[in-house]
Structure 1
Amino acid sequence: MKIIVLVRHGKSSWEFDVSDRKRPLKTRGKNDAKLIVNQFIKENRLPKNIFSSPAKRALDTCKIFAKSLSLPKNTIEVVDDLYDFGGESVIKFIKNLPDDYDEIMIFGHNHAFTSISNIFGSIFIDNVPTCGLVKIRFEIDSWSDLEQGKTEQILIPKELK
């Protein structure tokens, strides 16, 4: 069995004149990340393998989760291929993971995460919003065999407020 937890980055700020990769989180993005991780902690075992896009907004969201989960920052692996908006690079990354990783958490972007949730999950999601979390379970032994799984959890910040 394999489990993927996808977390879209929190709401980012457009008020700074920086490149897309360097856009920071807004206060709302930070607060939503704390709200989602606190709900996630109540209902789940913590993944040991955490990966993030190198984009500041995704990595900062990931760091908020890591801190709330009491995980050291060196637990986070930053992967350039996760700076992907279509989903192809993320899927390729997942399919090439070591098979001894059973549960993973990935921080990244839309439309990639909505597409992946709909391709591999069992519940249609119109849009994974900022700081949205989707957990999908797969009855496979090898990541290279990635196929249709079962959506086990969807957390949306607006629904928790």
Structure 2
Amino acid sequence: MTKRLILIRHAKSSWDAPFDDHARTLNDKGRTGATAVGDWLRANTYLPDEIYSSDAARTRETTDVIVTALGTAPTIVLKANMYHGQPAALMGVLQQAKGDTVALVAHNPGIAFFAEQIVAQPPDHRRFFDYPTCATLVCDFPINDWAEAVSRSGQVVDFVVPKDLA
């Protein structure tokens, strides 16, 4: 069997209001980018069964905008340990997942480092290693259970950033 992982960095957030980092929401560009990524996921039938998201406002909002564009109703789980989570924390969340297609929505630098560590071969895309806002990696794993997921075993299916979709 094959499991599919979709790694999404949160969309562009606002710096307008003077509140704490955890409470920052998306700006208009971020909402547009998240909608474009959701549309792209739907058009390519990259449809998650489960989405695990950091509990920060910008990741929750990114998740909500993408799910609206998908037109599906995946299970959504908010995880506090994904807020600025490092690769080990993201791997821990992934290894507990139950769906066949699972999305993780998190923050840099952790999600970029995790993306680099999880794939056998990086995609041929100039933005992969800096993983800009709303960057999205789709990769497959030849496993039956997410508990079997290990570094350097993901086979890249696709990678996109919102500017690619404009």
TM-score by length of 2: 0.88
The ranges of structure 1 where at least 4 consecutive aligned residues each deviate by more than 3 angstroms after the TM superposition are none
Q: How far has the Cα of 1:85 moved from its partner?
A: 3.9
Q: 2:97 corresponds to which residue?
A: 97
Gapped regions of structure 2 (runs ≥ 5) = none
Q: How far has the Cα of 1:28 moved from its partner?
A: 0.4
Instruction: Write the letter of the residue equivalent to 2:156.
Output: T
Instruction: Write the letter of the residue equivalent to 1:152.
Output: V
Mapping for residues 5-154 of structure 1, pairs under 5 Å: 5-72=6-73, 75-98=75-98, 101-121=99-119, 122-123=121-122, 125-147=128-150, 148-154=153-159
Alpha-carbon RMSD across the aligned residues, in angstroms, is 1.6
Gapped regions of structure 1 (runs ≥ 5) = none
Count of residue correspondences:
158
Q: How far, CA to CA, are the matches of 1:11 and 1:84 in structure 2? A: 15
The percentage of counterpart residues that share the same residue type is 24
Q: How far has the Cα of 1:146 moved from its partner?
A: 1.1
Q: How far, CA to CA, are the matches of 1:107 and 1:44 in structure 2? A: 18
Q: 2:164 corresponds to which residue?
A: 159
* SS of match in other structure, 2:61: helix
CA contact (8 A) 1:84 1:90 kept: no
Q: How far, CA to CA, are the matches of 1:71 and 1:160 in structure 2? A: 21
Instruction: Write the letter of the residue equivalent to 1:51.
Output: Y
